[in-house]
């Protein structure tokens, strides 16, 4: 008999593996609920071809009362052109802009935002929608 047989016990790794598996499962579960949306909460129209894009972007939102928001910060319609020019100078050609307009927002305000973006040379513009129900 070995002199260590009574005092030396093998290390049981099964509880450690259970804890690691639990932490991994919780991590995956939490990742499912992470949403990357930087605009305000609006009631989006639905589209059958809606897709999700996970790149960094700027969000321009129009709520149901036709108020304008840039990344959740309210801005005046009069300052829209200046803010977009500032964004263009900060981010250059790589700027991606998402427009989210509430279903009840007036169409002319959506066109006003789109026109301001295009007049500043921002061509990577996406319209935010939800998938059809």
pLDDT at 54: 46
- Which residue, chain included where needed, has tokens 């803010």? 83
Q: Are 40 and 69 in contact (CB under 8 A)?
A: yes
Domain spans, the chain:
46-131
Q: Are 100 and 128 in contact (CB under 8 A)?
A: yes
pLDDT at 65: 93
Indicate the burial class of 63 (C-beta count within 10 angstroms; 0-12, 13-18, 19 or more): buried
For the chain, residues with pLDDT lower than 70 are 1-7, 33-40, 50-56, 132-133
pLDDT at 72: 85
Convert the pLDDT of each residue in 39-74 to its tens digit.
Answer: 667 777 777 776 665 456 788 999 999 999 998 899
CA distance linking residue 79 with residue 114, whole number of Å: 15
pLDDT at 4: 57
DSSP codes, 34-65: -----S----PPEETT-----S--EEEEE-TT
CATH of domain 46-131: 3.30.420.270
Indicate the burial class of 105 (C-beta count within 10 angstroms; 0-12, 13-18, 19 or more): buried
Among 34, 89, 104, smallest CA distance to 58 is for 89
pLDDT at 23: 93
């Amino acid at each position: 008999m070995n002199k260590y047989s009574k005092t030396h016990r093998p290390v049981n790794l099964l509880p450690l593996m259970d804890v690691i598996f639990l932490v991994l499962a919780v991590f995956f579960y939490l990742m499912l609920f992470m949403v990357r949306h930087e605009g305000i909460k609006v009631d989006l129209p639905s589209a059958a071809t809606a897709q999700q894009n996970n790149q960094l972007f700027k969000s321009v939102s129009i709520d149901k009362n036709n108020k304008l928001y840039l990344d959740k910060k309210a801005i005046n319609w009069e300052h829209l052109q200046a803010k977009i020019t500032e964004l263009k100078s900060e981010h250059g050609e790589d700027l991606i802009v998402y427009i989210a307009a509430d279903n009840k927002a007036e169409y002319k305000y959506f066109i006003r935002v789109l026109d301001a973006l295009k007049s500043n040379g921002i061509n990577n513009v996406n319209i935010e929608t939800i998938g059809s129900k």
